[in-house]
Structure 1
Amino acid sequence: MVIRKEHALALLRVREEELNNAPACQLFMKSEEPPYLELERMNLLRMVRPLEYSLTYWGRALANIIDEMVSKGLIEHPSKWDEDFRWLGSEVIMMIETAIENGDVPGPLTEEELKKRGFVEEKKVEKKGTVVVINQYAKDVYDIFKNAHPRLIIDRELCQYIKEMPAGPAESSMLPAGGRFPILMGAMRLLAFSVPTSDVYALTALGQEIKKACECLAPTYETVISEDIMDSLARVIDEGVEALTDEEKEVLMALAYIDGEGNILPAGEHLLEAYRIWKERCFRPVKSINVEILDAELLKAIREVWKHHESDPSVMPTVDELVHYMFYKPLKDYKHLIQHYGRRLYQDLGYQKKEEIMKKFSEVKTAEELFKSFYEKGNKWYEKMYDIVQESLYTLESFNLIRAEEKEGKKVHYLTEYGEKVLEDMEKRGIREIPAVAVKAITLTNKEFASPNVDWYRKAVDAQLVGGGEATEAGKMYAQMAYEIRRLPHITRFELQVLHKIPERGFFVKDVYEQFDETWKEEVEYALNKLEARGYIDILQNEAIVLTEAGKLIKRALSGTPEGFANPITPLAVRVLEALRKVGTLYEKEKKVRVLPKNFAEAMKLSGLDPESFEKELIVLRASNLIGKNSINEAGLLILEALEKLN
């Protein structure tokens, strides 16, 4: 949906003709028609006959909104707008949508742009004072957007433009010159731009499938994609090619959607997926994944230790062995890990010791020496090293990159197929961080009409997930992985502290930072990154933060957890919870699952853990108030419910 000056004037013109009881608005010249055709694609106008247009229900509603807002002085009359001013567009729709998701509060990033368009007002809120919120007109416009089903018609010329353009995400300057094609694509919701201004573009989920179809079809007719063509193709699947008329068969064959026997060709496959998205308007949720540098190094360490196991069967990737591998190697081999180790030391020792810690990096030769320098007095240096490795292993398992299993009475770690893929990428393109928002820059395009903001786009470029105007091979791999992995809940002590600060809505990234001393900004940023990747929060394009359904459950379940635990919930503990539920009996009235003592041995087998690890996770679960002596309590059941939501 795109409304510029010419579109608004066209709507008002057709509305005026309608008020004068004219059957339709008749144009005098073909050169007048482009904005009318674009409005017809938006389902705001209906073509009565060539060069004659009338309002649809939703077009009339939007024309009335413009007229009313002008009369109330919220916006100037469209005749006074700049020619290129986009009163509505994908970026404006997203500004409104993110405000609605955030309790109507647009926030500082988008407030001014919405104000220019007459979509905000001041509201008094208890305990908050006067707050700027979106007004009813913004909500009415969004309602029109959600209900006005766009048309989908692609001619040969537009098909060629779509075929040649980069799919995005990309900077808007990379769009090839195409006259009105970008506007026409926006009208059909094939192309979206970033919030708050259109600095970055991306093809939508519908646009991506249309592009794939355009790259495979044979442009033998003036119109290569239309609703009639899609309907005919769908009937081939539902009823068989025999259900088509000879003319319909000829069109589908000539455009290379089907072969002579009625088999669906590649162009047809992509058009059918586009048809499904267009007709059902069913869009995938936005998911992400995060890999820190230490996580990547541990994947490499696990594989190396298993190689060593081939010559020495006593060596296996237990936590102790991985600690030995990671911390006894020369620090110069792990220069890229200094930032991670530094953050962990700052968190424990305080940021006031930052200079002292950084000085120590230049003096010591191994990570072991570094940790001994700060923890030797309490003789806790090995414990700290162990905790760092174990926490990263928990993170890797929570993202289904590794799996801990019992072998010869020990807990050892195996790479999953996804862990192998991540390690292959790291070895091919270099060890680097994969931020959650960088992956989200790609998966966000699965929404109906959205493009990533500039910061996410740049992070994706830096992580080599986006380049050359579209997602790279690595970007596509991480984006696909974000949807395929089975997630297990995990949260660290600091992440839980951050989560507890975030209400369900009405909060922004800057508000989270304000809850902590400014020296903790880096830690908070990493915590938000992890919480987003875990699926507990959703950071919107206007930098608002809303809790997901899973996040609400996790927060509620861990509300009574003591703050002293490094990992209040671990993926291994969740595996134990799942196993206990399988061998227990649910008592709905009590909101408990009771487990007979004799069934704990069976639960241990089902969890896949060794006895020592199983007992340790039971201790964590009891200390976190998720289970009692012989039962899963309500908080534990909330964790299991969150597990279902995440997957």
Structure 2
Amino acid sequence: MCNMLLASAHLIALQELAAEEAAGHATHSLAEDDPQEHIYRELELQGLALLQPPRAYQLSYAGREALDLMRAMHAENLLPTIDRLEHNWRFLGSDILAALHAATLKKGQVGPVTVDMLRARGFTKQVQDTLEKRQLTCLNRYGEAWRDFAEHHRPRLEIYGDLANAIRHMHPGYAQKPAAQMTAEQLALMEAMNLLAWSIPEGDNYVLTALGQAVYDALRKEGYSPLDVALDEPLLQVLAELADKGSSVLTPEQIASLQLLGYVDADEKLSEAGYAALKAYSLLQKEVPEKTRTFAITEPEVELLTTIDHLVQEHKPTNKEALHRVLVNRMVKRYRALEGRRGRTLRERTPLKRQAVALLEQVKEHDEWFNTNWDLEELLVGLEAFDLLRAEMEGRNMGYRLTFTGQKIVEEQEGNTRDISATAVKALTIAETHLGVPAQWWIEQAREEELIGTGGITASGRFYANLANHCIRRLALTREEAELLEQLPDTEGESCGFGSNSREGLDEEKRNWALEKLEARGFIDRLVDCQMIRTEAGQLLTRAVSGAMHLGHPVTPTLVRVLAAIRQVGTLYVKERKVRMQPHQWEEAERLSGLRESEFREMLHIARMGQYVGEATLTEAGLDLLAVQELIDKEYSVAAKRA
């Protein structure tokens, strides 16, 4: 989806161009000091008007199409005539298009946060849901038409020196205003060129899109000449030629021009700004990903990683018994420090923390206290799902070791252990996607978790955004997560938009964290309008685990390893969608799984209880589960390549 900016002034300008055309005038000329010049410039960059040098404009085919849509909406009394629109009213913008896109992902259904903004623009209709006997607000044909219109019209990138100077000194994002000296006209130009987007629902904060960030990084030179081109697509094509074929293919004048703009150094090599400009060129050429990738980890999971790290450094056992003993002591010490505090941050006022602090006084047995609040097995499985730790044999017992990524998280969180939510990380990674617009409460959550600071994205924010794109995912699902995935609500409920758990109950907090985990693993997508949908992997996973809902962990990485080993050894019967095993093949499957005999048999028993494995077959549910893992592997390998 490309941004498109159409305010009432743009629509009036299009109408004027149409009127000039109807009167037999080929173009509409502007005086040198015409205050509406920036409006026509924004229309030109978006392909809605054509410039006839030096200062005349005419209606383009796309501009005529936009006017026809507006007139049709007026004819159906969905909007007033263009000349009666409110002054400076935003008809289309990054936030409105994001709302349209979110509704499209939900099969046209509009979320509670964006109903008013879309209804006010004539984009909605009421539909009766006969199954649930309720009325839904959905996109009408004009909402769909404007969404499609914006999809098919990519703006042109053309930045002159005056705008380049402003961009160079602007705030790098997640703020209310880019810079005190930046004008409304410059902001509009940036939005029209798909360089920045405004948050939903009120546009309280802006973010630089992936293209906007690349342009921001490219404009490093001090003092661009205001009337000269600082960055445009022909210039980017010349830079690409230089990168591909070397300086010999360029003229001395082209090299001198690129050096003057700071994209090429004295040795005729690309500078840091030149590489950033090439990234902008790449973003203009390639398709932007649709899906937002994210990451989540809880404070107790971080404490467990730290516990394993300390035990390994001290050459002590890391089996479950040892981990439980040391982790309980760490958590007791941590929550003792919270006693008597009122909670100076939102993350110290969550219902789970309040309960844990209160119970610490009441329950004298620390093991009982820990087990009331957390489940060690669940923590281990959750960490293994992101490949942050791996199980390995320590003599006769199974122990744990941190992966490279797990070690990096321990280092990042040292001295500041905290939850990192999928919501917060998504506020950063969504700028890289087709949608590009974050919800305001995601930004607030990211600030609370210190992923955004006064200078934009923090080092922590960049670390977790990078993890979102590169971290390996392994299938894992608790019973609570499986039940929530199966009965996924349409919307996030009353808590959506507050950016805080402080008013919620314990059950609501646990439900929210289950959603965080489901989204971080790629099974659901929480949209900017508060709606929720299952991803393709989530839909398939829901079907696969339908017979395993009674298990404490319907899916674990170890279970998937066993199923993969069985599929590798057995014989696939395509029509039946089953893999059949011969008696002598079980030993080979055990070897391929990497488990000891007792562990393999225990996992095989669990697989049969979950209906993934029959007496001598890998069932359709088992094959579905492996198909989910393949989808996740493909999804995140593509993400890693793009990043």
Equivalent residue in structure 2 for 1:53, among 49, 53, 57: 57
- Which AA in structure 1 matches 2:105? E
- Which AA in structure 2 matches 1:616? E
* Cα drift, residue 357 of structure 1: 8.2
Equivalent residue in structure 2 for 1:154, among 132, 137, 159: 159
Task: Please give the secondary structure, in 2, of the residue aligned with 1:215.
Answer: coil
- Is 1:484–2:483 an aligned residue pair? no
- Which AA in structure 1 matches 2:532? I
Distance across 2 between alignment mates of 1:158 and 1:610:
65
Distance across 2 between alignment mates of 1:200 and 1:416:
37
- Residue 519 to residue 475, structure 1, CA distance change in 2 (3 Å): closer
- Which AA in structure 2 matches 1:101? L
Q: For residue 18 of structure 2, what is the aligned residue in structure 1?
A: 15
Equivalent residue in structure 1 for 2:577, among 563, 567, 591: 591
* Cα drift, residue 262 of structure 1: 4.6
Q: For residue 441 of structure 1, what is the aligned residue in structure 2?
A: 427
Q: For residue 138 of structure 1, what is the aligned residue in structure 2?
A: 143
Output aligned runs, 1:194-273, within 5 Å: 194-215=199-220, 219=224, 222-259=228-265, 262-273=268-279
- Residue 401 to residue 336, structure 1, CA distance change in 2 (3 Å): farther
Task: Please give the secondary structure, in 2, of the residue aligned with 1:133.
Answer: strand
* Cα drift, residue 568 of structure 1: 0.3
Distance across 1 between alignment mates of 2:236 and 2:412:
38
- Is 1:406–2:393 an aligned residue pair? yes
Comparing 228-237 with 294-303, greater Cα deviation is found at 228-237
Q: For residue 374 of structure 1, what is the aligned residue in structure 2?
A: none
Task: Please give the secondary structure, in 1, of the residue aligned with 2:197.
Answer: strand
Output aligned runs, 1:470-619, within 5 Å: 470-502=456-488, 507-510=490-493, 520-561=507-548, 563-619=549-605
Aligned Cα RMSD in Å?
A: 2.8
Comparing 155-164 with 325-334, greater Cα deviation is found at 325-334
Task: Please give the secondary structure, in 2, of the residue aligned with 1:268.
Answer: helix
Equivalent residue in structure 2 for 1:301, among 297, 307, 320: 307
* Cα drift, residue 239 of structure 1: 4.1
- Which AA in structure 1 matches 2:20? E
- Which AA in structure 1 matches 2:511? V
Comparing 145-154 with 238-247, greater Cα deviation is found at 238-247
Q: For residue 69 of structure 1, what is the aligned residue in structure 2?
A: 73
* Cα drift, residue 488 of structure 1: 0.5
Distance across 2 between alignment mates of 1:433 and 1:102:
29
Q: In structure 2, list runs of 5 or more residues that go unmatched.
A: 340-350, 497-503, 634-643
- Residue 580 to residue 256, structure 1, CA distance change in 2 (3 Å): farther
Distance across 1 between alignment mates of 2:254 and 2:56:
28
Q: For residue 369 of structure 2, what is the aligned residue in structure 1?
A: 370
Q: For residue 320 of structure 1, what is the aligned residue in structure 2?
A: 321
Contact 2:50 2:57 in 1 (8 A): yes
Distance across 1 between alignment mates of 2:574 and 2:257:
59
Higher normalized helix content (fraction of residues): 1
Task: Please give the secondary structure, in 2, of the residue aligned with 1:54.
Answer: strand
The one-character-per-residue Cα deviations of 1:350-399 (angstroms, maximum 9, x if unpaired) are: x9x9999875421335531436xxxxxxxxx7xx89x8111111100101
Task: Please give the secondary structure, in 1, of the residue aligned with 2:206.
Answer: strand
Q: TM-score, normalised by structure 1?
A: 0.88
- Is 1:396–2:383 an aligned residue pair? yes
- Which AA in structure 2 matches 1:209? A
Distance across 2 between alignment mates of 1:576 and 1:545:
32
- Residue 325 to residue 332, structure 1, CA distance change in 2 (3 Å): closer
Distance across 2 between alignment mates of 1:547 and 1:121:
24
- Residue 12 to residue 300, structure 1, CA distance change in 2 (3 Å): same
Distance across 1 between alignment mates of 2:390 and 2:17:
63
Equivalent residue in structure 1 for 2:129, among 103, 122, 125: 125
Task: Please give the secondary structure, in 1, of the residue aligned with 2:393.
Answer: strand
Comparing 174-183 with 97-106, greater Cα deviation is found at 174-183
Distance across 2 between alignment mates of 1:103 and 1:135:
12
The one-character-per-residue Cα deviations of 1:30-59 (angstroms, maximum 9, x if unpaired) are: 423110001111121111222211222222
Q: For residue 629 of structure 1, what is the aligned residue in structure 2?
A: 615
- Is 1:167–2:172 an aligned residue pair? yes
Task: Please give the secondary structure, in 1, of the residue aligned with 2:289.
Answer: coil
The one-character-per-residue Cα deviations of 1:481-530 (angstroms, maximum 9, x if unpaired) are: 11111100111001111111127xxx2112999xxx98732222121111
* Cα drift, residue 571 of structure 1: 1.4
Distance across 2 between alignment mates of 1:143 and 1:569:
40
Task: Please give the secondary structure, in 1, of the residue aligned with 2:407.
Answer: helix
- Which AA in structure 1 matches 2:405? Y
Distance across 2 between alignment mates of 1:156 and 1:317:
60
- Residue 68 to residue 577, structure 1, CA distance change in 2 (3 Å): same
Distance across 2 between alignment mates of 1:134 and 1:485:
36
Q: Percent identity?
A: 31
Contact 2:387 2:406 in 1 (8 A): yes
Output aligned runs, 1:283-362, within 5 Å: 283=289, 285-309=291-315, 315-328=316-329, 331-335=332-336, 360-362=359-361
Matched residues, number: 608
- Residue 529 to residue 159, structure 1, CA distance change in 2 (3 Å): same
The one-character-per-residue Cα deviations of 1:424-479 (angstroms, maximum 9, x if unpaired) are: 11114x11111110111101111245232121111111111111141110110011
Contact 1:399 1:485 in 2 (8 A): yes
- Residue 354 to residue 447, structure 1, CA distance change in 2 (3 Å): closer
Distance across 1 between alignment mates of 2:356 and 2:263:
64
* Cα drift, residue 400 of structure 1: 1.4
* Cα drift, residue 480 of structure 1: 0.3
Task: Please give the secondary structure, in 2, of the residue aligned with 1:196.
Answer: coil
Q: TM-score, normalised by structure 2?
A: 0.88
Contact 1:294 1:337 in 2 (8 A): no
- Residue 209 to residue 476, structure 1, CA distance change in 2 (3 Å): same
- Which AA in structure 1 matches 2:472? R
* Cα drift, residue 103 of structure 1: 1.4
Equivalent residue in structure 2 for 1:420, among 395, 398, 407: 407
Contact 1:123 1:130 in 2 (8 A): yes
- Residue 155 to residue 605, structure 1, CA distance change in 2 (3 Å): farther
Comparing 195-204 with 45-54, greater Cα deviation is found at 45-54
Distance across 2 between alignment mates of 1:465 and 1:609:
39
Distance across 2 between alignment mates of 1:91 and 1:600:
56
- Residue 529 to residue 354, structure 1, CA distance change in 2 (3 Å): closer
- Is 1:79–2:83 an aligned residue pair? yes
Task: Please give the secondary structure, in 2, of the residue aligned with 1:131.
Answer: strand
* Cα drift, residue 248 of structure 1: 2.8
- Residue 568 to residue 112, structure 1, CA distance change in 2 (3 Å): same
The one-character-per-residue Cα deviations of 1:286-320 (angstroms, maximum 9, x if unpaired) are: 111111111011001111221232xxxxx421122
Contact 1:327 1:366 in 2 (8 A): no
- Is 1:4–2:3 an aligned residue pair? no
Contact 1:206 1:277 in 2 (8 A): yes
* Cα drift, residue 70 of structure 1: 2.4
Equivalent residue in structure 1 for 2:454, among 468, 472, 477: 468
Equivalent residue in structure 1 for 2:288, among 282, 290, 295: 282
Distance across 2 between alignment mates of 1:55 and 1:438:
43
Distance across 2 between alignment mates of 1:337 and 1:645:
42
Distance across 1 between alignment mates of 2:596 and 2:22:
78
Q: In structure 1, list runs of 5 or more residues that go unmatched.
A: 310-314, 339-350, 372-380
Distance across 2 between alignment mates of 1:621 and 1:80:
66
Comparing 542-551 with 221-230, greater Cα deviation is found at 221-230
Task: Please give the secondary structure, in 1, of the residue aligned with 2:127.
Answer: strand
Distance across 1 between alignment mates of 2:119 and 2:201:
12
Contact 1:288 1:440 in 2 (8 A): yes
Distance across 2 between alignment mates of 1:558 and 1:292:
25
Q: For residue 348 of structure 1, what is the aligned residue in structure 2?
A: none
